[in-house]
Amino acid sequence: MKLLILHLCATINICLLCFPYKSFCADNKFKECKKARYCGNQTIRFPFYTDDIPQYCGFPGFELTCINKDVLLLNLFDDQYKITQVFYANNSFRVSNVLSLRSGFCSLSKIRNLELPGGDERFELHSSSTLILFSNCTSQSGDRFSKNKVGCDLKKDGADWVLAMKTDDPDVDFAYEACESVVLAPVHDYGEDGDTDYLNLIRNGFDLKWTVTGCRECKDSASSKGKLGVKVGLAGALAAGVLISAVLLFFFWSKCSSCRYLISSKSVRKDREKVEAFLKLQGNNAPKRFRYRDIKKMTQSFKSKLGQGGYGGVYKGKLPDERAVAVKILNTSKSDGEEFLNEVASISRTSHVNIVSLLGFCFEGPKRALVYEFMPNGSLEKFQSDGKSSAAQQLRWQTLNEIALGIARGLEYLHRGCSTRILHFDIKPHNILLDEKFCPKISDFGLAKLCLGEESIISMQDMRGTPGYIAPEIFSRNFGGVSHKSDVYSYGMMILEMIGAKNNINEEVDNCSSKYFPDWIYDRLELNADQIELADISDEVEEESTRKMLIVGLWCIQTHPSDRPSIKRVLEMLEGNVKSLRIPTRPLLKSTEEPLETFSTT
């Protein structure tokens, strides 16, 4: 705290000393920036600048384009938006997608989602509603919703027109079925109820609010007259700096708790705005929203705790229709809202027997909760944390094989079956839930990453996953790029651990001078390539399926991603003939010095 205060005071002193001096010495620049600038009928001033306006008159990242001295454009996510009005009084402007302004109206189907906010903190949607634009629709849907058709050649199939609908339109669900492409377009306001001119609604655009942090001095300086003398400026600034520093020192020491509260409140408010904007764009696709009092009621004030994860506890609850649910309460001290957004954004896009269903959510200030379908048999971790336990022993080899197949099918759906590829990045026993029939369901998408189209290699700034299941390329890009093959590695480690827990191999490995578990398997295979002694094998069918799991697991944990199979190929191997499978070479990356516990989930 002392260092923070000293740093803050020093910064203020420097600013007070420099800005008056700068106003005097750089007066010519300020005069240049004060000149009236226009593009068409739009005034351009701080924080904006163009090619014809010096960059020092604006703020980094706020460059605009003036076409033929008449049309002012803003580039956002590779799309162009025409600025039709600027409201400097409240830091906002109205923009329209250029595609909606072209003659012929034939470009509306090319409009893309405007993803705000999303890492770009310059702009945020301001006082806007949302229109859903459906394209590539059947001609029957066009006939049924003629009042919603916007575009050209309206009599053709939906290649040149779109269906525009409000988010609360009762026919939205039908349109989702009848059309191939969907985007969410922000608009300024729906206006009066009744017939809506959707084309004009789109063309009128929407409002964006801009934020320039920590630079009011720059703006004020641009309008300064710059008449202070150097001596007067320095002396006055020095005296003011000493006085303000003393006041700030006293304030921070006496009100530090209040400062922490203000910082925390600002963070919570920023998270809330980010989440609310995201949910607004989801429209009817968002799961049901619960009040926090509903969460407390369904869990009986969090009476029955099912487990504890890195981001909070999980409690058993019951909906008004008597359905049992699992309620995950997110710990805001360990989450900045990304965990919540990842869960909702990922699971709301899925519908698969091997993916857990998200039934609803709660987001009230710092209180966040996710409501899932209840899995009576808990997580897979319970059945393999201790090979000697009754829970671990009750799963027969055939059941383990079906669980491995189910998880692979769920992953294959995430990687290939969704409209957007989803990489999980935290496949481990704790995140595999089992229903009453031991059908596995992948859960906990807090670390997931969404990928567009067939994107294969992704960029990732932070390390994601659980030690023991993290692929080598996530530690170091020297092993290859991060991709869907990273999930394959985690899957391979998990099914090998399933075999080890069932057969008490973990205990044997622990007593074998710190041997790496996959090395133990390779050693046994080299001694007897045709057979590994496993407990409770009842017939040849179980022996064959278990051997397939072993070989597939070894393929999945290959060091280099290019040597691993895709999850689709994993399914083919598990469902195929064991005689067609060969044992892969021993991975180069292994541990001969650390015991197995180091690589186990905690």
Task: Show binding-site residues.
Answer: 328
Residues 582, 588, 589, 591: what is their CA dihedral angle, to the nearest 10 degrees? Answer: 90
Q: How far apart are CA 200 and CA 462, in angstroms?
A: 44
Contacts with 347 (C-beta within 8 Å, 6 or more apart), sequence order = 355, 356, 357, 358, 445
Q: Is 519 a catalytic residue?
A: no
Q: How far apart are CA 449 and CA 408, in angstroms?
A: 18
- Counting runs of H as helices and runs of E as strands, what totals does the chain give? 19, 22
Q: Which residue has the tokens 């170091």?
A: 476
Q: How far apart are CA 191 and CA 276, in angstroms?
A: 22
Q: How far apart are CA 64 and CA 45, in angstroms?
A: 11
- Residue 39 tokens read as 């593009």
Q: How far apart are CA 126 and CA 467, in angstroms?
A: 42
Between CA 229 and CA 240, with CA 235 as vertex, the angle to 5 degrees is: 120
Angle at which helix 567-575 crosses helix 540-556, to 10 degrees, equals: 160
**DSSP conformation letters of 7-50:** HHHHHHHHHHHHHHHHHHHTHHHHHHHHS--EETTEE--TT-B-
The residue among 293, 290, 315 whose CA lies nearest residue 302 is 315
Q: How far apart are CA 82 and CA 101, in angstroms?
A: 9
Q: How many residues does the chain have?
A: 602
Query: Which residues belong to the annotated binding site for ATP?
Result: 328
Helix (H) / strand (E) element for 486: namely: helix 485-502
Q: How far apart are CA 77 and CA 100, in angstroms?
A: 17
Annotated active-site residue in 271, 426, 444, 487: 426
- Residue 6 tokens read as 């000293």
Q: Is 205 exposed, middle or buried (0-12, 13-18, 19+ CB in 10 A)?
A: buried
Pairing of strands 288-289, 312-318: unpaired
Pairing of strands 358-364, 288-289: parallel
Catalytic residues: 426
